[in-house]
Amino acid sequence: MCDDGSEPRHLFQNEVDWSAATFRLRRTGCFGACPQYSVSLYPDGRVEYEGAEFVASCGRRIGQVTGEARERLVSAFRTADYLADNLKEESGGVRVSCQETAISAVEVGGRSRVIHHYGPRLYSLRLTRLENLIDEVTNTWRWTSCDRSACSCRPPGQSEREFLEELVDSPIESE
C-alpha cells in the first residue's frame, strides 16, 4: 500500500500493451567455455539469434515461436513486474571472477529496462528463471548445444587473441 493509502501502480499491470513487447537476452563469456550469444523475441513471434562463441551455430539464425509460447514469457515478465525497480541483481556484493553475465531486456510501450545479471547461476533466482525462460521459449538450445571443448566460432588461422579482440571490438591490453 502506498503512503496515500492507494494500491501501488505497477507498470505492467494495466498500462502496457504486452502484445507489442520485445524480449532480449545476451549471454556473455566467462573464463572458460560459456556459450556467448544473443537472442531477441519480437511481437510477431520472430526469433533472431546471433551466436558468437562456444555455440553450435555461429552467426545469425532466424526462428519463430507460437503465440502460446510467447504468452508464457509475457505472463512471467508481467508477474515479475520486470520494469519495476524491485527486480534487481541480488549478489550481495560477492563476485566470482569466472562467471558469465546474462543481460536481459524488455522494450514495450515506449518503455524499456535492461538488467545486467552477473553470475546468473549463483545470484538472484528470480532473474535467472526469467532469463532461462527466454532461452526455453525461443529454443536457443537448438543453436547453442555442443561439446564446449570442440565448438568455436573462431575462423581457421585466426589467433584466439585476434578473435576475442574482434568480439569485444577493442584491443586487449598486454600484461
Mean pLDDT for the stretch of residues 124-142: 91
CA pair distance 54, 33, nearest whole angstrom: 6
| Mean pLDDT taken over the chain | 79
Q: Is residue 144 part of a domain?
A: yes
Helices (H), 24-138: 67-80, 125-138
Q: Is residue 1 part of a domain?
A: no
Q: Is residue 5 part of a domain?
A: no
Q: Is residue 2 part of a domain?
A: no
Note down the domain range covering 45. Answer: 18-168
CA pair distance 148, 140, nearest whole angstrom: 15
pTM: 0.76
CATH, residue 73: 3.30.1560
Q: Is residue 131 part of a domain?
A: yes
Q: Is residue 94 part of a domain?
A: yes
Q: Which three cell numbers stand for residue 115?
A: 538488467
Q: Is residue 61 part of a domain?
A: yes
Q: Is residue 9 part of a domain?
A: no
* pLDDT for residue 68: 96
* pLDDT for residue 144: 92
Total domains in the chain come to 1
91: pLDDT strictly greater than 80: no
* pLDDT for residue 31: 78
pLDDT digits (tens, 9 = 90+) for 152-163: 777 767 676 676
pLDDT digits (tens, 9 = 90+) for 54-80: 899 999 999 999 999 999 999 999 888
168 vs 127, which has greater pLDDT? 127
- CB atoms inside a 10 Å sphere around CB 142: 12
**Banded model confidence at residue 172, pLDDT cuts 50, 70, 90:** very low
